[in-house]
Structures are given as C-alpha cells and as structure tokens.
Amino acid sequence: MEKQNPAIRVHGLRKSYQQLPVLEGVDFEVAAGSIFALLGSNGAGKTTTVRILATLLQPDDGTASVNGFDVVSQPAQVRESISLTGQFAAVDEILTGRENLVMIAKLRQVPNPRRVADDLLERFGLTDAAGRRVAAYSGGMRRRLDIAMSLIGDPPVIFLDEPTTGLDPEARIEVWQVVKNLATSGTTVLLTTQYLEEAEKLADRIAILHRGTIIVSGTLAELRKLLPSAKAEYVERQPTLEEIFLAIVGRDKTAESSQGGQR
C-alpha cells in the first residue's frame, strides 16, 4: 500500500521576535485524519507555530506545508485548505446560532447556506438552541458553535489553538467529544494545549514543545516507554502524561517566566 503524504509537514522552523528566539528548529509531521497535540507551557512557541502554519506569520527559516502546499510560496492554497479556531470563541453574540452559521456560509460563498447551517447545528447538538442569541449560550455551546463555523466549506485541516481555555470541566468534555468526532469524519486536527489531560485524552500523537524546540514526539504509549513503570505492592502502573512531561521538561519555570506570556 502506498504511504499517504502527511497533512502537515514542518522542518527546521525558526522564528525570532527582534533578538528573542521563539522557535529554534521545530520538526514534526501530522498524518491525515489524525489528532496531533502540540503540548507546551505558556511561552513555549505553540501559537507562533500555528500562526506560521496558518500563513499569518512568516518564518525566519525552515519549511512548512499544509495539505501539500507550502505556507510561504502557496499561502492562498493553504488558506483554502484550513480553518483556525483561536483561544476564544469568535462568535457574534447579538446573532442567533443559526444566523452566525448562515453569515459565515454566505461569506464563504457556500451553496445552500441555510441547509449547511442546519446540518451543522444538528451535528454539534445545537438544534434546540438555533434560534437563541449566542449571548445566552454557555461556554461549551459557544465553543461548539465556533468550531462548527470553522468547518463551513469542509476544510481538510483545522487548527485548534488552546480550544478549551477558560472552560469549565463539563464544557471541556463537550469540546473533547467534538474534536474526536472531527477526526472520525476524516478531518486532520492540530491541537495546541497546555492541559496534559487534554493531550492524553484526545491525541493520536503528542509533541512536547519546550523553549522553541520539539524535545520529544510520539504516541502516548511511546512516550510512556521513556519512563519506567511505577510499581506498588507488585502492581505495575504506567506513568501518566503529566509525569512524562515533568520528567522531560522539568519544573524550572524561571527561564520561561522571563520570556513573558503566551507567544
């Protein structure tokens, strides 16, 4: 069987702001139809990576392609292939859920915008709230609507930049289910997160980004092999992703805090 090309390919990616290096040679690949988690603390370079892949920022060096298109030389084709959902839901609170979806469908010149809106409302469990103003939605409902809006036009690749920031545990679980469903339907998902449990629950593969470099990458099972199993009363226990992360990255936050906030 012929090997499928990765949906996202990043090699030697570098980016600095003035004299401050943010990315220092980032390398990873994301298989089509999979969920890939870019895990790291605030300031690790996660958002900078996503902004480069979304053609919102130019890299200083290295190469990156999305859906087979180079982010520097073919930005228009990349933009047609992706959707980006940021850390906060980009929805119009004055409009209803259906009106938000219809508006985006019209802007993207999608045929039958009302039918598209109704299909997405049903898919994301928002049909009963379709006629309500978004201002009355819960945090989880807003985020589900935001992700639904990003899927209009059926982009093969979606970037979710810390999609559960500020959500309560119940809303976070709602979003997790939505992300799982995206991958099941064939959408490639690149998820950035600082929540260890989120990466552990969702991702097919996890890359830990620390001080601008991918220091380890693999499946959860592969990462677990980096640490010995803990044994208590002769019962073997696999290390959690939190234990792996802390063992690899360490607890030293001094250098990171000096770099400022989220990049």
Dig out the tokens for 24 from the structure.
Answer: 């220092």
Residue 260 pLDDT grade (very low, low, confident, very high; cuts 50, 70, 90): very low
pLDDT at residue number 88: 67
**Residue, of 167 and 74, whose pLDDT is higher:** 74
pLDDT at 197 over 70: yes
| Edge-to-edge strand ranges of the sheet holding 61-66 | 20-30, 8-17, 61-66, 69-70
Given a contact cutoff of 8 angstroms between Cβ atoms, the answer to whether 28 and 217 are in contact is: yes
Q: What is the pLDDT of residues 56-66, one digit of tens each?
A: 999 999 999 99
pLDDT at residue number 235: 59
Residue 204 lies inside a defined structural domain of this protein: yes
CA proximity to 217, closest of 48, 46, 27 = 27
pLDDT at residue number 233: 53
Residue 254 pLDDT grade (very low, low, confident, very high; cuts 50, 70, 90): very low
Residue 3 pLDDT grade (very low, low, confident, very high; cuts 50, 70, 90): low
Q: What is the pLDDT of residues 7-45, one digit of tens each?
A: 999 999 999 998 899 999 999 999 999 999 999 888 889
Given a contact cutoff of 8 angstroms between Cβ atoms, the answer to whether 137 and 94 are in contact is: no
pLDDT at 209 over 50: yes
Residue 196 pLDDT grade (very low, low, confident, very high; cuts 50, 70, 90): confident
pLDDT at residue number 205: 95
The rounded distance, in Å, linking the Cα atoms of 147 and 151 is 7
pLDDT at residue number 4: 74
Environment class of residue 254 by beta-carbon count within 10 Å: exposed (0-12), middle (13-18) or buried (19+)?
A: exposed
Altogether, the residues listed in the chain come to a count of 263
Which residue segment(s) compose the domain that 78 sits in? 8-257
CATH at 32 = 3.40.50.300
pLDDT at residue number 1: 45
Given a contact cutoff of 8 angstroms between Cβ atoms, the answer to whether 189 and 205 are in contact is: no
Residue 95 lies inside a defined structural domain of this protein: yes
Residue 200 lies inside a defined structural domain of this protein: yes
The arithmetic mean of pLDDT across residues 158-178, rounded, is 84
What do you get for the CA distance between the two ends of the chain, in Å? 41
Residue 262 lies inside a defined structural domain of this protein: no
Q: How far is CA 45 from CA 20, 52, 207, in A?
A: 12, 11, 12
pLDDT at residue number 241: 80
The arithmetic mean of pLDDT across residues 122-151, rounded, is 90
Residue-by-residue DSSP string for the chain: -PPPPPSEEEEEEEEEETTEEEEEEEEEEE-TT-EEEEE--TTSSHHHHHHHHTTSS--SEEEEEETTEETTT-HHHHHHHEEEE-SS----SSSBHHHHHHHHHHHTT-SSHHHHHHHHHHHTT-GGGTTSBGGGS-HHHHHHHHHHHHTTT--SEEEEESTTTT--HHHHHHHHHHHHHHHHTT-EEEEEES-HHHHHHH-SEEEEEETTEEEEEE-HHHHHTTSPPEEETTEEEPPPHHHHHHHHH-S--HHHHTT-S--
C-alpha dihedral (152, 157, 161, 164), degrees to nearest 10 = 60
Residue 231 pLDDT grade (very low, low, confident, very high; cuts 50, 70, 90): low
pLDDT at residue number 229: 60
pLDDT at residue number 82: 94
Residue 114 lies inside a defined structural domain of this protein: yes
**Residue, of 148 and 52, whose pLDDT is higher:** 52
Q: What is the pLDDT of residues 69-120, one digit of tens each?
A: 999 999 999 999 999 887 666 788 999 999 999 999 999 899 999 999 999 9
pLDDT at residue number 185: 86
Residue 229 lies inside a defined structural domain of this protein: yes
Residue 84 lies inside a defined structural domain of this protein: yes
Residue 2 lies inside a defined structural domain of this protein: no
pLDDT at residue number 245: 80
**Average pLDDT score, the chain:** 86
User: How many domains does the chain fold into?
Assistant: 1
